[in-house]
Structure 1
């Protein structure tokens, strides 16, 4: 017998995801960023601040995004002056990604906005058990 929709974990996750995505879009719209632009900018910024200058493939892997879509979004971020691509001295076919000064400022502001939106959305539900469950479901922890 099929589960009732409000008892189906997948169905509920779908609805939670849709609500959360709307909240993220609302938090990022004033900063003129889409959610995927934010993810790629923030991931590049985080990697840069931790001593890494990723190429497009490294960034897509770290962010969990499709490589071709990543390329398209990076072009848009580059046009906005938020990132720059530099030739990799060890492989002239590859480009290393660096956040510009403007991109770094926006990344910090956007991370703060997204974290505030997460706190408002999850409230007290963002306890360690929920985070551990989400990490496991996302494949970030063997489980």
Structure 2
């Protein structure tokens, strides 16, 4: 549908033409972005919609999911079957309607969709950058315009990816674990993008940073236990040993074998690489946090630190009660 050079659609056709171009470009961009996670744009839409509906523990039917996502039920049925085969969601008999099925995400499905949301949020920021970003007044006005064109009422609690009105649910907390998970996914995806082409993964950089800021570690076993205890890294003890072994093979760390005399520390080459990567990351970090007031960042830091402390305390209490 390319236009001849110098030709532009007339005003009465421009809206449809430009909407078509934006949506086509958006779908292609999302397809490329979520492909490494084994998803298509359509599958992402279904998973993200199910994730949104499940935030308060709701288990929507397949029809409710189709209505929420703004997709045809028969299309959603095909997508759901493919996602079920991939181990990302589960279909269960609906207790109130023998002809219907209820849907819920598996643990793997939740992990995949949280990572995908981080990637797509970064794409949204890129798409809306020319008009001031997702939180800018021009983008908010654009959302209102698109909702009006779709005959969708204003969203009472934020917008969904497809511009569909959510079904009635209990009010969710202002901040949830899913929100924090989405933020973590977006930041991790950003870190991966910054480090692309450096030969160092985000997990390797984090290990270097732990050694730079908290090291040296004596005995080295304490470093292994610390990294394995950082759940956001998703590393078990053998993974930690392999990670540190790789860094040692590159001459970046020394004394990191669990049973070595230690102390575990950076080599001069490791310290230099950490400094170089930190400077690269800092250039983007200043843009990421630049518009926040220091007081806002201090509040967020305080809340997150308190959440970590409370979560660890509750985990201990729940473990004691088993």
TM-score, shorter chain, exceeding 0.5: yes
Mapped to 1, the partners of 2:145 and 2:71 lie a distance apart of 21
Query: Is 1:41 paired with 2:41?
Result: no
Mapped to 2, the partners of 1:36 and 1:121 lie a distance apart of 19
Q: Which has the higher strand share?
A: 1
Please name the residue that 2:64 is paired with: 58
Please name the residue that 1:120 is paired with: 126
Q: Deviations over 1:71-112 (max 9, x none)?
A: 011000000000001112222332110000000111111111
Mapped to 1, the partners of 2:50 and 2:151 lie a distance apart of 21
Mapped to 2, the partners of 1:37 and 1:4 lie a distance apart of 34
Say which structure, 1 or 2, has more relative contact order (CA 8 Å, 6+ apart).
Answer: 1
The gaps in structure 2 that reach 5 residues or longer are 1-6, 155-322
Please identify the structure whose Cα radius of gyration is greater: 2
Please name the residue that 1:101 is paired with: 107
Mapped to 1, the partners of 2:118 and 2:84 lie a distance apart of 22
Of 104, 118, 136, which aligns to 2:148?
136
Q: Which 4+ residue blocks in structure 1 deviate beyond 3 angstroms?
A: none
The alignment's TM-score, normalised by the length of structure 1, stands at: 0.89
Q: 1:21 to 1:46 in 2, by over 3 A?
A: same
Mapped to 1, the partners of 2:53 and 2:153 lie a distance apart of 20
The RMSD of aligned alpha carbons is: 1.8
Q: Deviations over 1:23-66 (max 9, x none)?
A: 11111111110111001111111111223211111110000001
Q: CA deviation at 1:135?
A: 1.8
Mapped to 1, the partners of 2:10 and 2:23 lie a distance apart of 15
Greater mean alpha carbon deviation, residues 45-54 or residues 60-69: 45-54
Of 6, 9, 23, which aligns to 1:17?
23
Mapped to 2, the partners of 1:38 and 1:4 lie a distance apart of 33
Please name the residue that 2:88 is paired with: 82
1:55 and 1:97 in contact (8 A); partners too: yes
Matched length: 140
The alignment's TM-score, normalised by the length of structure 2, stands at: 0.41
Mapped to 2, the partners of 1:74 and 1:138 lie a distance apart of 25
Q: CA deviation at 1:14?
A: 1.1
Mapped to 1, the partners of 2:104 and 2:46 lie a distance apart of 11
Q: CA deviation at 1:5?
A: 1.2
Mapped to 1, the partners of 2:51 and 2:141 lie a distance apart of 28
Query: Is 1:5 paired with 2:9?
Result: yes
